[in-house]
Amino acid sequence: MSAPLTLLESADLLGRYRYVELALFAALGRRSTSCDDPELAAFLSGASLAHGWRAREVEARLPVSVGLPGVAACTRSPSPDVDAAIARATAPGDDPAVLDALVGAVYPAMDAAYVTRAAAASSAADPPILRLLARLRADLDTLRLEGAQLAPRLERPAAGRRSDVGTLLARAGVFGALRPEGPPRGAEGAGGART
């Protein structure tokens, strides 16, 4: 078992969660307006709102204190590959391929990353994070199930998009590394208290 994340490492990771949730909120909201299939448009619109809710939940768990980075400083892209994966998943064209990429690549990657974070949690300091992760995973699982139920009613998606998105996410991880490379952002004078 590795050491629990420091307060700054945890804030950095929560900020990356928030970034991805907000990016999907915006991308799916935009994409829902160009769907030909009304059921898929409704799903993507609802998924967008769910990502927005999860981003707000994550933001509420970011530590707030003098000397710690603020919400804006913590909310950053995990990597250009993640941005490219979100763009590819929601790109114009084949509507069923959008759902296939979300349900088959993006959401499983997010769930696996949340499980990895829970495994690295401190039982003493991280109960609020563990409750957050349980809520995020439950909501994400609901989206996955709704998407899986909708998929058979749509045309078969063109091959490639899910694979492309999965490859991009596998390179960097949907939220990046559990612990960031180098010193956490905003580490000057903030200490390295474990969480």
Q: What is the pLDDT along the chain (195 residues), one digit of tens a residue?
A: 467 888 888 889 999 999 999 999 999 999 999 999 999 999 999 999 999 999 999 999 988 777 778 899 889 999 999 999 999 999 998 999 999 999 999 999 999 999 999 988 888 888 999 999 999 999 999 999 999 999 988 888 877 999 999 999 999 899 988 876 644 444 444 444 444
- Burial class (CB within 10 angstroms; exposed 0-12, middle 13-18, buried 19+) of 46: middle
CA-to-CA distance for 163 and 61, rounded, in angstroms? 33
Q: Among the residues of 76-172, which ranges form H helices?
A: 80-89, 95-101, 107-119, 127-150, 161-172
Under CATH, which number does the domain 7-172 receive?
Answer: 1.20.1260.10
CA-to-CA distance for 1 and 23, rounded, in angstroms? 32
